[in-house]
Structure 1
Amino acid sequence: MKRYRWTRLEPEPTLVLALSEAINVSSPIAAALLNRGISSFEEARRFFRPSLDEIPSPFLFNDMKRAVARLSKAIAGGEKIMVYGDYDVDGTTGTAMLSLFLRELGADVCHYINDRFTEGYGLSTSGIAWAFEQKVSLIVTVDCGIRAIDEVQVCAAQGIDVIVCDHHEAGELPAACAILDPKVEGSGYPFRELCGCGVALKFIQAMVEARGESPAAWRKYLDFVAVATAADMVSLQGENRAYLREGLELMRRSPRVSFQAMAANMKVNLADFSMMNITYGIAPRINAAGRMESAGAAMQWMLASDEPEARVHAAELEALNGRRREIDAEITLRAETMVAGHCASHCSSIVLYDEAWHLGVLGIVASKLLDKYFLPTVVMGRMNGLIKGSVRSVDQLNIYDVLHECRDHLEQFGGHHQAAGLTLRPENLEAFRRRFDEVCRELLPVEERQKSLLIDAELALDEITPKFLKVLEQFSPFGFANREPLFVVTACRLAGKPKLLRERHVKFTVRGERGSSFEVIAFDRPDLFTDLESCGTAANLHLVCIPERNQWNGREYVQLRLKDLAVDLVD
């Protein structure tokens, strides 16, 4: 019945009591805050009420003054400016945002997004050639460029300056006109975890401040930054938390025509828009463009100037996303049939390859396999004689470090802590597969290959009050570095019979020692149904869950969203 490892976080009781009294919250809430590094009234205030007035100045970037001066000169002189972005959500939203801003300033601006399949990631030869043909004299990159050492030299030889707006790790730096990347050593900027679109926003903010304009002139782009921040799995702490919260509020209050059209296709009311609607709604539709064809459709949608145009391009993205879902479902089914045979020889990782697989959906398939098997996963296809693929990893393992250990078998690789991409020659596949599994075996102990649930505190059912829920809701938005709080409820029993919904979900009611009762929903846990039926109402249940408000058929009620369950059976 119990599927996961339960890891109970236990902050110092005296600190829990002190914080509980300082901010007037219950002990479980105080424990959850301490588990997130929040130990004082002021830290709690910044967490619950992130303010744009408290974010760092963009001019803390050492190169920001140089970047502002060069861009201002280009605008004033009527130079042709190119915004050069990556093809994912982060790159396309940042490219659209910066393009719209420059248009408003009267700049002569164009944009370029690489083709995922023919050009790959980063500044490409064809992109630079097109910039030269268009008589571009300044390129501003978004979500790429920090490793483009040779490409920036080529640009310089052709009289093109480059300003890099990126957020990836770097080694040797390109000889760019200015580099804005918080992960570059000595960048000067105190917050490392901006996404690429977020870095572009800091550039816009600096331009606005240099021109003496109102903060409203840059804050109106926070909807783009919210989408990119949610989609790119960056840390939801610090200023990212402020951007996401304010950006969501902007989308609810004053949505641009592109988001209105997309929300209509998603059948979502923008007034209730949430991070989940970005993560599982908008982001996959934007990515579908680059995955299935080119990112051009996503760019046209984001740059649409009126509702009819926005609706046309939103419909295109909807169709592309439908095709993407069909293809990734087919590949996932095939991949799952291959896992057993693969794991017979390689038990510390999953590395699958089929030359017919569509490269655009491999990251999605890898994520699904990771969720199911909780092993570092590589899924690969073939293009132009080379094997290309996507890599996904568990939290405990930095997949970039693993690939670095496998570099002798790879032509190219890059990425983040939990997600990466790679290219290798077919003749190196088996050697890579062996080495990848060896490194994963060394760095990921067997005991860590079961997903762990981090439990913030024990919670009694009668502690779930309206005030508790109101404070708990303010922990959102959730994501990387700000997980949903989890609580364990121990003193409760089954009340009545469980129900199996759509052969997938289980719903039941529990009652506590003092009479409090709540409905419980366990999504995608059909295995619990027969166990609950057999244990009856006498057994004591231990629930790892998230209390939340829910609405259904016009009724609002509190439910416990179950993550895992254990039972003390009664003889």
Structure 2
Amino acid sequence: MRWTLKPKPEASKLAVLKEALQVDTPIATLLLQRGIETYEDAKTFFRPSLNDLHDPFLMQDMDLAVARIEKAMANKENILVYGDYDVDGTTAVALMSTYLKTKYPLVHTYIPNRYDEGYGISYKGINFALENDFSLIIALDCGIKSVEKVAHAKKLGIDFIICDHHRPGNEIPKAVAVLDPKREDCNYPYKELCGCGVGFKLVQALASKEGETVEDLTEYLDLVATAIGADIVPIDGENRALAYFGLQVINTNPRPGIKAILDQVEKTELTITDVVFIVAPRINAAGRMKHGNYAVTLLAEEEADKAQQYASEIDEYNLDRRETDKQITEEALKQIEDNKEHDRLTTVVYHQDWHKGVIGIVASRLTETYYRPTLVFTRSGEYLAASARSVRGFDVYNAIEACSAHIEQFGGHKYAAGLTLKEENYEAFKQAFEDEVSKTIDRNLLIPEIKIDAKIDLKDITPKFYRILKQFAPFGPANMTPVFLTENLTDTGYGKCVGADKTHLRLTAKQPNASKSIVCIGFGMGDKYELISDKKPFKAVYSIDENEFRGNVSLQLKLRDIKA
């Protein structure tokens, strides 16, 4: 692991903020690292408000989108709400369709089939709209690159409103309205909304025309918070407020579909991390293993009994997904070993029978193992389809774009993308991708990095310090859980390997001349026991959390790494 200590903030700024907020140096340091320099900044950060959300009409084409939906309702047109099959897409479709149905009955949903339609807007979806007399399609979490398909629909008399957050290509589709903060001509102040977030802004705009405020829409924020967590977008600015209030809804009054998922795991107070690892995989499993429609049906259901039934079906899909991704990961690791590709800077693997629904998860697991930009391919109809994942600091989307001569289509983000290509182009693409990454990547990025916020002593870790730290949540990109470094530690002598297979490390750390000691747990760090045995001095990077044991709650250090 590479340990990188973030630079210390300017002394003058640190002094001003400490005085303004009456906090110690570590807290002021954490705030300045997050761009919080004044009392007002801190107030917005620690006390998010729905009033901080931007006016939705600042988004390019928002007025056109609202006018077209109002026209559809006035003319009794059928409206099709269309979205991608992942968490961001299915939550967005559930949000938009359930809101519209409170105003207007002629609303239907459509999720493309991952296997025979693939990602985004499909000709099959447009044909469905034509055959069933839909004259308006609202596309969510997709569509920004569907220039030809939108033009095709227009010829058939079908209008599109696109709500997307992916990077546009060279040409914007000629839809009635294209809502995407990443459009170069869009002056919307916040650029990092997820697809469901863009959908929420459209709902907010529609509601404002009805005299409703954003407070009237809080019941939809459980869906937005779930999408923010699952889509790994920055949790700053507007996303922070949406995630903060969305988590409140999840923890106090979630919709029946989300409540049914939570009932299965008997979890009480959820964090964004819990949403990512508990709620999101189950919603995703529907689109991966069966069909994304199941997720929308669950999320839109209003009756608790039916929601429980749908949630248990989806839980089965999730168990299937786990088995499948475990098996494919093992096969992929073996393929890398057999081909002796350890000296490459990229990981690219392919098997025609791998399940398309889990190749993204497998790509993530391979990235964890080898820590390189990774692509996992499988057969999809007449093409090969791949999911891509990257290492921190490297833009895999740009690397794929540089190899576009070998690709049929691609899309995505800096750290996660997807593409399709013809089988005969696979080897040429694989080499081109390796060449592009070799040419552009900083070799340091191939060593996992721990970014450390601040160096502190054990005496700094007080209940008050932790109370303030908790208020930094919700955590995620752009506001990660604070990580600290403490040096000159020793174990009190009772450190040991724990867990059924002794793979975890548990110890009690102290510093010289200090009365304070604190329990530390290092998951998967049993192999580092030698570093702390016999009271050898060591240094540690860690986050701080609470441990509850027999009703007693105490602070503990969650170790990320230790060194002699």
TM-score range, shorter chain: over 0.9
Q: For structure 1, which segment, 325-334 or 34-43, has the greater mean C-alpha deviation from structure 2 after superposition?
A: 34-43
C-alpha deviations, 1:56-77, integer Å up to 9, x for none?
Answer: 1001113111211111121222
1:518 correspondence with 2:518: yes
Other structure's SS at 1:335 match: helix
Give 1:341 deviation, angstroms: 4.2
Does structure 1 conserve the Cα–Cα contact (< 8 Å) formed by 2:50 and 2:215? Answer: no
**Structure 1: distance between partners of 2:380 and 2:175:** 32
Give the equivalent residue in structure 2 for 1:175: 174
**Matches of residues 316-465 of structure 1 in structure 2 within 5 Å?**
316-342=313-339, 344=341, 346-465=343-462
Q: Secondary structure, in 3 states, of the residue corresponding to 1:432?
A: helix
Please name the residue that 2:531 is paired with: 531
Map of 1:294 onto structure 2? 291
Alignment match, 2:95: 97
Match of 1:260 in 2: 259
How far the C-alpha of 1:42 sits from its partner, in A, is 1.6
Amino acid at match of 1:385: E
Whether contact under 8 Å (2:336, 2:342) holds in the other structure is no
1:154, distance to aligned residue in structure 2 (A): 1.7
Alignment-derived partner of residue 236 in structure 1: 235
2:46 is aligned to 48
State the alpha-carbon separation in 1 of the partners of residues 340 and 385 from structure 2.
21
Match of 2:132 in 1: 134
Distance change >3 Å, CA 4–CA 62, structure 1 → 2: closer
Does the CA contact (< 8 Å) of 1:60 and 1:188 recur in 2? yes
For 1:520 and 1:31, the matched residues in 2 are separated by 24
Tell me, yes or no, if structure 1 residue 224 matches structure 2 residue 227: no
Q: Using the TM superposition, give the Cα deviation of residue 217 of structure 1 relative to its aligned residue in structure 2, in angstroms.
A: 2.9
Q: Decide which moves more: 250-259 or 88-97.
A: 250-259
Conserved 8 A contact 1:9-1:455: no
TM-score by length of 2: 0.97
3-state SS of the aligned residue for 1:496? coil
Letter in 2 for 1:517: S
- Is contact 1:75-1:107 (8 Å) kept? no
The one of 270, 275, 294 equivalent to 1:273 is 270
Query: SS of 1:414's equivalent?
Result: strand
Which residue of structure 2 lines up, in the alignment, with residue 246 of structure 1?
245
Matched, 1:201 2:182: no
2:32 pairs with one of 20, 30, 34: 34
Deviations 1:509-568 (A, max 9, x none): 0112311110001011121123322xx21x32211111222223322110001111112x
Name the count of aligned residue pairs: 560
SS in 1 for 2:451: strand
- Partners of 1:263 and 1:193 lie apart in 2 by 28
| CA deviation after TM superposition for structure 1 residue 439, in Å | 1.2
Give the conservation status (yes or no) of the 8 Å contact 2:411–2:419.
Answer: yes
- In 1, Cα distance between the equivalents of 2:122 and 2:409? 15
Q: Secondary structure at the match of 2:308?
A: helix
Per-residue displacement from partner, 1:86-117 (whole Å, max 9, x unpaired)? 11100100001110001100231001100111
- 2:80 is paired with a residue whose SS is strand
3-state secondary structure, aligned to 1:174? coil
User: How big is each residue's C-alpha offset from its partner over 1:477-529, in whole Å with a ceiling of 9 and x where there is no partner?
Assistant: 11122222111111321112222222221111011231111000101112112
Counterpart AA for 1:220: E
Supply the distance in 1 between the matched residues of 2:538 and 2:515 (Cα, whole angstroms): 15
Runs of 4+ deviating beyond 3 Å: 3-8, 340-346
Provide structure 1 residue ranges, at least 5 long, that are not aligned to the other structure: none
The match for 2:487 among 483, 490, 497 is: 490
Residues 351-376 of structure 1, C-alpha deviation per residue, up to 9 Å, x if partnerless? 11111211110110111111222111
2:496 is equivalent to residue 499 of structure 1 = yes
Following superposition, the deviation at residue 197 of structure 1 comes to 0.5
Query: Contact 1:346–1:434 (CA<8 Å) still a contact in 2?
Result: no
Q: Which runs of 5+ in 2 are unaligned?
A: none
Task: Tell me the distance in 2 between the aligned counterparts of 1:432 and 1:405.
Answer: 10
SS at match of 1:273: coil
Structure 2 equivalent of residue 59 of structure 1: 57
CA gap of 1:400–1:557, structure 2 versus 1, over 3 A, is same
Looking at structure 1, the residues matched to 214 and 393 of structure 2 have their Cα atoms a distance apart, in angstroms, of 40
Q: Distance in 1 between matches of 2:34 and 2:387?
A: 31
1:22 maps to 20
Deviation at 1:6, TM superposition (A): 3.4
SS in 2 for 1:140: strand
C-alpha distance after superposition, 1:437-496 (max 9, x if no partner): 111112223233111111111111111111110111111111122222111111321112
Q: TM-score, normalised by structure 1?
A: 0.95
Identity across aligned pairs (percent)?
39
Secondary structure of 1:548's partner? strand
Q: Which moved more, 1:241-250 or 1:337-346?
A: 337-346
1:340 partner letter: E
Cα distance between partner residues in 2 of 1:74 and 1:220:
25
Task: Give secondary structure in 1 for the equivalent of 2:492.
Answer: strand
Task: Say whether the 8 Å CA contact 1:352–1:379 is kept in structure 2.
Answer: yes
Quick one: structure 1 residues 70 and 232, their matched pair in 2 at CA, closer, same or farther if it must change by over 3 Å? same
Q: Aligned partners of 1:445 and 1:164: how far apart in 2? A: 37
